Structure 1
Amino acid sequence: MSNLNIAKVAVLGAGVMGAQIAAHLVNARVPVLLFDLPAKEGPKNGIALKAIENLKKLSPAPFGVKDDAQYIEPANYDDDIEKLKDCDLVIEAIAERMDWKHDLYKKVSPYIADHAIFATNTSGLSITALSDGFSDELKARFCGVHFFNPPRYMHLVELIPTASTRPEIVDQLETFLTSVVGKGAVRAKDTPNFIANRVGIFSILAVIAEAQKFGLRFDEVDDLTGARLGRAKSATFRTADVVGLDTMAHVIKTMQDNLAGDPFFPVYETPAVLAGLVKQGALGQKTGAGFYKKDGKAIKVLDPKKGEYVESGAKADELIGRILKRPAPERLKLLRESQHPQAQFLWAIFRDVFHYIGVHLESIADNARDVDFAIRWGFGWNEGPFEGWQAAGWQQVAKWVQEDIEAGKALSTAPLPAWVFDGPVAEKGGVHTAEGSWSPQARKFVPRSDLPVYEKQVFRAPLAGEAGVDPRTYGRTLFETDAVRAWVDDRAGEDDVVIVSFKSKMNTIGPSVIDGLTQAIALAENDYKGVVIWQPTSLKLGNPGGAFSAGANLEEAMPAFMTGGAKGIEPFVKKFQQGMLRVKYASVPVVSAVSGIALGGGCELALHSAKRVAHIESYIGLVEVGVGLVPAGGGLKEAALRAAEAASAVNATSDLLKFVQKSFENAAMAKVSASALDARAMGYLKPSDTIVFNVHELLDIAKKEARALSASGYRPPLRVKQVPVAGRSAISTIKASLVNMRDGRFISDHDYLIASRIAEAVCGGDVEAGSLVDEEWLLKLERQAFVDLLGTQKTQERIMGMLQTGKPVRN
């Protein structure tokens, strides 16, 4: 495959999707031109400029750092069309009208470079029909590239080639989207709504139909079809509100217009309740009302019979909740046999989707794997529909589904295809096997893509039933305790870096984790090139439970507190600090591979590492004030050292407060980065640290960084003996601003006390400005502040509140 260097991208259309695609490309440091029509009034780029400005206000934020909006270059088709010649990829993202798209293509196609890929972000129109009128040469470079909304956060991108698209074009685009943009690429056939929307919208329509049949409320359905089924918390109707009911109606209309011969065609009728809401302009979240409506602080739900919003809160029956916790085969059997309407409803929606994907697999996808990934990544299911079917017992479930079809209980009379019951799938017990995933067209199990980009993924996204590897046991274990596992990737050429993975809840750090980490560093110093700290939980895409480390393990410290009081914790804190110094001064590089949350002690572990490799969705911060404490694992000490280093670089050591102010605010306000890019702006990541966009590449890149440091003759930093600090005058300045906040009741008296102790630690204590101190002095200030605060009643209240509720207590 020849390399395609995508140095610049043009996005055509500055609507919601086009602008957000442009924003995420800028996150990935890809220069972007954002085109739209020339404005009739004001600046000719006014439409694109307004879209760029609106991006800054969106939530969730499209940018990793809001100021990066400046890197999107606005353009219009009158003045800037020649600039298309400089672009390597052109993505069209205008409204879903075939005629509008064709008009635009006629205008831009003469200016698209001969080597450039031309792609459309349509959510369901025929890619082949869109390419009508193109030259053969442009047809060969044209395909669909369907991002999901919001593009920064949704992992799925569907790639849809036509019969004319050159295979290498799709390979090049998949490589770029996977590694540079960080997506999971699924190849779909050129059929209406492709894979994810075809199956996902059918699933929603089935839920609406079955809920009506069994008389269930919308909020009741959402409680049944969300987290309890391992799906997005927003479940069915909340998801529809978030997506937009007009958008959903449009996707359904595409199915109505293009699937007349489909055996499930009657299901594609727009539900009356949806049509009614759209007609009223109640389009969901963007209009303030849809299936749900916010009324003051209360969330109300639509009662379609009454035609009004009522109090929400209907839940799954306790019996159904217990059934849903049973193993898959037992769960489906119990749901099918129960007479409870909620159980009947759940069995029905499982059956409907199994029926649909069985009938349609051959027409919409190359293999079953692509269907499962499309639904997992595009609709937030933990388990794809084929995975669920296979886990519950392939042949038994197929038999039950066919019985319901024959009994007239299903949504279509179409029988399941023969391959479901006979041949390799039946023999293997499902569609996912060690050889690959079932392709009805090829009549065989198809292996995964072998594009070179996937060589960087030590652990590819797993599929139940496939011959995947478990990151918790993979490789050769060097040693393992209850707290950590130290191991190496035992493939040839990959076994020269020690990998340390934590086993504690949320990867918290206690004495046992420190012991394991110290042991791993000692091992590496004797026989390996470096250490990478990497957590298997980083692979849980879209799962807020994924963590690099949630910080110090307060529960592990509680026995020492119960027996020795606040002073009894001091050895715990000192051990934590010494563990961080062991990381910093190891004679081999220690690289932190950060993804998800790195809070408190997790942030401090990253700060002390030789280098950090962070996934774009990394949320890093010193948050100890939430439990009434100060960071005491060296985080404030590192802030003081970095401030002195920055001041020295510009000969400004006489004004250290200016350099320490940001770090003080970060810790005192418990600021957490909104992305890895934001963490860099906050100072938690250095400009030289690496940010990766595909979480599956995190471990491979971290190992390569450790090797590169080793190969360049890595030496740890010299121990800090003398560092200038801001001193008592800076502390007084900070405290003066804190007094104003306290007296204005913006912060409590206890907040004032905590922030004052943070100021003392980052400014080096009660010494003259510019005084020289050593690292141990700064650590002692942290440690003393931590112990003193722990002895106060209000801090103890905050800690107990956090342990009991998981939420900060304000006192």
Structure 2
Amino acid sequence: MSSNKLVVRKVAVLGAGVMGAQIAAHLANAKVPTVLFDLPAKEGPKNAIVEKALAALKKQKPAPLASKTAIEYIQAANYDDDLALLSECDLVIEAVAERLDIKENLYSKVAPYLGEKTIFATNTSGLSIETLAGVFSKELKDRFCGVHFFNPPRYMHLVELIACQETDAAVLDNLERFLVSTLGKGVVRAKDTPNFVANRIGVFSMLATMANAAQYGLRFDVVDDLTGARLGRPKSATFRTADVVGLDTFAHVAKTMQDHLQADPWHAHFGLPTWLTGLIEKGALGAKTKAGIFKKEGKRIFVLDANSGEYVASNEKADKEVTELLKAATWGEKLAALRASEHPQAQFLWACMRDVFHYIAVHAKDIAHNARDIDFAIRWGFGWDMGPFEIWQAAGWTQVAKWVAEDIAAGKTLSSEPLPEWVLDGREGVHSDAGSLNFSSLEAEGRSQLDVYKRQYLPAKLFGESPKALGETVFKTDAIHAFTLDGEVLVIENTNKNRAISREVLEGINQAIDVAEERFSSLVIWAPEAPFSVGADLKSMMPAFATGDLQAIEDMVKLFQDTSMRLRYSHIPTVSAVQGFAFGGGCEFVLHSNKVVAALESYIGLVEVGVGLIPAGGGSKDFALKAARASQGDLLAALKDRYMNLAMAKVATSALEAKELGYLNEDAVVVFNAYELLFVALNEARALAASGWRPEIQQKFAVAGRTGAASIKGQLVNMKEGGFISEYDMYLGSQIADVMTGGDVDAGTIVDEQWILDLERKVFVSLLQQEKTLERIENMMSTGKPLRN
């Protein structure tokens, strides 16, 4: 087969179950026309099974669809009437039940309808790709492979790509390009072994945790408190993760290991504990059945007691003595403290870590090509902050290897299998600037040279690799790093924690605009990882709040507004490259940039009401201006929609939804892979500059005036009486209404942007004198959550 570029014009997904429907949804998010197939319904319309799955997509949380309109890209189909559609598809993804007979029967049925160049991929989570390929002719085997998405496909970064012996190398490269750039995925090329890389190790880790929990007699709620965020893993930890995945699904993956890995030295631990099989038999399958290991009744949460088989109140936490050990600065100190402690919970944690280190060392060569693939698979597929090899290396490779070897010799481990020789050959770890350990050659293997990765200026980094300095530094302050990659575009990064916006950040941005106007063609504001910005740095403003220095606060707000306006009206084009949260002031920078490039998973909103304030960095003004531009003769109607976003602190749950809510303009570019954000932003900045970009003049526009404000306030009264908002919410909503309608003027009055900015600033400062606002600010700073007082 030729290595021609793959253009994916249309995709078919076979199977409209949970995974199939959600894979189709993510393809639709990326505007890939998708045909979703399932069996013809026995009664009613033949596509009823698929139509029901599509209806479910609209209701699921977290939302598989990134915008309301994405579903329009999915066409319902059935195997009786629509197989001819397959010939139009460049890629077919099979996602039916994990049974060899069902898959093979389907392959025989669809094979005659596939196009000459159609790639056929199975989303199996662990069945042999080689065995599945047996159904196809040699000509089709060239185009067959495994493409294993993790659930939920929109949010989980990992996709495992698995070849059979005859898969054409160009097919894999083309598919990897599509997965990385179009769908935004992190691809790991896995070996064709049961459960591939992530599930093989991740599920072993969960089984080992269950075995060690039983040995040390620990309750499941205590285990989850120990094995979640405290270890740099998701809050769902171990047992809640099993509930979320579905106990039947977890059992299926474990059974694949039990059936197909008979010679594995840990085989005795692949069977499920009796309490777990008991839950499955009763139909208590976890989150989807409202009961599993945990269950919720009203606001109370219960957890299964493994000994009695009864549910008890879930109210036990890890002992403080052990959680203090986990606060050590380094992994070396943590593991040393856990291993030395006699506390059962500490011994349990060391055992869990040790057993995973032991398992991956012994099996690394069987299941993965290199150490990088193992660490990224676990980070991207199971949500760990660091992969298991990274933790081992960070803790001191030689010392940890010695501890594991001692425990094997002492009979403390789940298997007596010795560590392989390469672990103890004097190495310091498996990751370095030269690459990551290849388990066959025992040499360092560099990153993939596939062209798509040239778009990632700062790819995901591993422990053991040196920090990569991007470009040439132009200037640096305590809060801003300004650099250039090409001598044309100035890029700035806010280096504050959570990229909060302080006076130093504002001064740094103004300095950057000065420098860019003098020496560069354009300016990009970029965050190398989420968040883009959580908004104003309230902590830095606290001294002024505490002393009642209203002039200092007003000066700060004025500087904020002037900075926003400079982002829009400076003599060079400005581009914001956004990912993660862009709240409050961060959102206002986005609103005022001349162009925005946003990662799909960008969560954008003006949320100031949560701290008892109003948007005053130009956000209220900008929504009033947008309403005037969109009014088409009915200014109040255009204003009300936008007003509600501010008054209810509505946050867009994707970059696509941010366009619908007005936080992003229609011309904003949405990028699916956040690692490509800077590449695309630089191209957009250069294109604006090359086109002879000039700023608009500052705008004048009509406002709804006091009658418009009165109409909005009438709605607020109804919302308060209906119990939807508090009295103080109503007061804040009234203040926003006064600002967005232009204050005490007649409807239709023409004002300029500065008029609304002055109103914003005046209201903002007055709100800081309100006790309830100060209560909201203090609560947000102490708990991180908004207070509804």
What's the TM-score bracket when you normalise by the shorter of the two chains?
over 0.9
Write the mapping of 1:161-200 to structure 2, written as runs, cut at 5 A: 161-200=163-202
**1:9 pairs with one of 2, 11, 21:** 11
Tell me if the contact between 2:7 and 2:90 (Cα under 8 Å) persists in the aligned partners: yes
Q: How does 1:91-110 map to 2 (within 5 A)?
A: 91-110=93-112
Inter-partner Cα distance in structure 2 for 1:344 and 1:746: 49
* Counterpart Cα distance in 2 of 1:386 and 1:744: 55
Q: RMSD value over aligned CA atoms?
A: 1.4
List per-residue Cα deviations over 1:373-410 (Å, max 9, x = no partner).
10111111111111111112212222221222222221
Give runs of aligned pairs for residues 322-721 of structure 1, distance below 5 A: 322-326=324-328, 327-422=330-425, 426-427=426-427, 429-469=428-468, 473-489=469-485, 494-536=486-528, 538=529, 546-566=530-550, 568-647=552-631, 652=632, 654-720=633-699
Deviations 1:98-125 (A, max 9, x none): 0010110011111111111100000000
In 1, distance between residues paired with 2:396 and 2:771?
A: 55
C-alpha deviation, 1:754, in angstroms: 1.3
The residue number in structure 2 matching 1:41 is 43
Shift of 1:339: 1.7
Q: Which whole-Å deviations, capped at 9, do the CAs of 1:403-441 have from their partners, x for residues lacking one?
A: 22222221112111122222xxx34x1111222111221
SS of 2:97's partner is: coil
Kept in 2, the 8 Å contact 1:655–1:726? The answer is no
Say if 2:535 and 2:582, in contact at 8 Å, map to a contact too. Answer: yes
Which stretch has the larger CA shift, 83-92 or 526-535? 526-535
Partner of 2:726: 748
- Structure 1 residue aligned with 2:130: 128
Q: Distance in 2 between matches of 1:510 and 1:410?
A: 51
Q: Which moved more, 1:296-305 or 1:63-72?
A: 63-72
SS of 1:741's equivalent in the other structure is helix
Q: Deviations over 1:509-529 (max 9, x none)?
A: 122111000000110111112
**8 A Cα contact 2:67 2:656, kept in partner:** yes
The 2-side partners of 1:126 and 1:455 are apart by 32
Amino acid in the other structure paired with 1:693? F
SS at match of 1:35: strand
1:61 partner letter: A
- Say how many residue pairs are matched: 786
2:236 matched residue in structure 1 = 234
CA distance in 1, matches of 2:290, 2:20: 23
Which letter does structure 1 place at the counterpart of 2:557? V
| 1:543 equivalent in structure 2 | none
Quick one: distance in 1 between partners of 2:370 and 2:491? 35
CA contact (8 A) 2:32 2:73 kept: no
Q: Helix, strand or coil: the match of 1:300?
A: strand
C-alpha distance in 2, partners of 1:386/1:117? 34
Question: Residues 314-345 of structure 1, C-alpha deviation per residue, up to 9 Å, x if partnerless?
Answer: 22222222222222223222222222111211
Is contact 1:88-1:115 (8 Å) kept? yes
Please report how far the alpha carbon of residue 230 of structure 1 lies from its aligned counterpart in structure 2 after TM superposition. Answer: 0.7
Mapped pair 1:264 → 2:243: no
Aligned equivalents of 1:85, 1:133: Cα separation in 2: 19
1:767, distance to aligned residue in structure 2 (A): 1.9
Structure-2 separation of matches of 1:782 and 1:153: 37
Q: Is the 8 A contact 1:53 1:69 kept in 2?
A: no
Aligned residues of 1:603 and 1:621 also touching (Cα < 8 A): yes
* CA-CA distance at 1:733 after TM superposition: 1.5
Letter in 1 for 2:708: A
Secondary structure of the residue that 2:571 maps to in structure 1? Answer: coil
Deviation at 1:566, TM superposition (A): 4.3
CA contact (8 A) 1:148 1:157 kept: yes
Q: Which ranges in structure 2 are unaligned for 5 or more consecutive residues?
A: none
Measure how far apart 1:587 and its partner are: 0.8
Q: Secondary structure at the match of 2:92?
A: strand
Offset at residue 565 of structure 1 (A) = 4.8
Match of 2:116 in 1: 114
**Counterpart Cα distance in 2 of 1:6 and 1:130:** 24
Instruction: Look up the match of 1:541.
Output: none
Matched, 1:758 2:733: no
The percentage of counterpart residues that share the same residue type is 58
CA contact (8 A) 1:24 1:62 kept: yes
Letter of the 1:288 partner, please give it: K
Aligned equivalents of 1:679, 1:607: Cα separation in 2: 11
Hey, what does 2:781 align to over in structure 1?
803
One-letter amino acid matched to 1:665 = M
Amino acid at match of 1:9: V
- Of 331-340 and 707-716, more deviation after overlay is shown by 331-340
Within the alignment, does 1:785 sit opposite 2:752 as a pair? Answer: no
2:660 is paired with a residue whose SS is helix
Shift of 1:724: 1.6
Quote the Cα distance in structure 2 between the aligned partners of 1:519 and 1:681.
33
Alpha-carbon distance in 1 for matches of 2:335, 2:769: 53
Unaligned runs of 5+ in 1: 539-545
Does 1:311 pair with 2:313?
yes
Q: Give the letter for the 1:791 counterpart.
A: Q
How far is the alpha carbon of 1:276 from its aligned partner?
1.3
Shift of 1:568: 4.7
Q: How far did residue 786 of structure 1 move?
A: 1.4
Identify the range of structure 1 (442-451 vs 662-671) with the bigger mean alpha-carbon deviation: 442-451
Quote how far apart the aligned CAs of 1:747 are. 2.3
Distance 1:761 1:140, change over 3 A: same
- Return 94-103 or 776-785, whichever deviates more: 776-785
Other structure's SS at 1:593 match? strand
* Alpha-carbon distance in structure 2 between the residues aligned to 1:665 and 1:107: 52
- CA 1:241–1:83 in structure 2 vs 1: closer, same or farther (change >3 Å)? same
- Quick check: 1:591–1:706 contact (8 Å CA) kept in 2? yes
Give the deviation of 1:467 after TM superposition: 4.3
Check conservation: 1:488, 1:496, Cα contact below 8 A.
yes
Match of 1:55 among 32, 54, 57: 57
Aligned equivalents of 2:474 and 2:576: distance in 1? 19
Residue type of the alignment partner of 2:495: K
Matches of 1:567 and 1:209, distance apart in 2: 62
Q: Which amino acid aligns with 1:595?
A: Q
Which residue identity lines up with residue 11 of structure 1 in the other structure?
A: V
Distance 1:748 1:118, change over 3 A: same
Distance (whole Å) between structure 2 residues aligned to residue 746 and residue 329 of structure 1: 51
> CA 1:562 to 1:330, structure 2 compared with 1: closer, same or farther past 3 Å?
closer
Query: What TM-score do the two structures reach when normalised by structure 1?
Result: 0.95
Q: Secondary structure at the match of 2:634?
A: helix
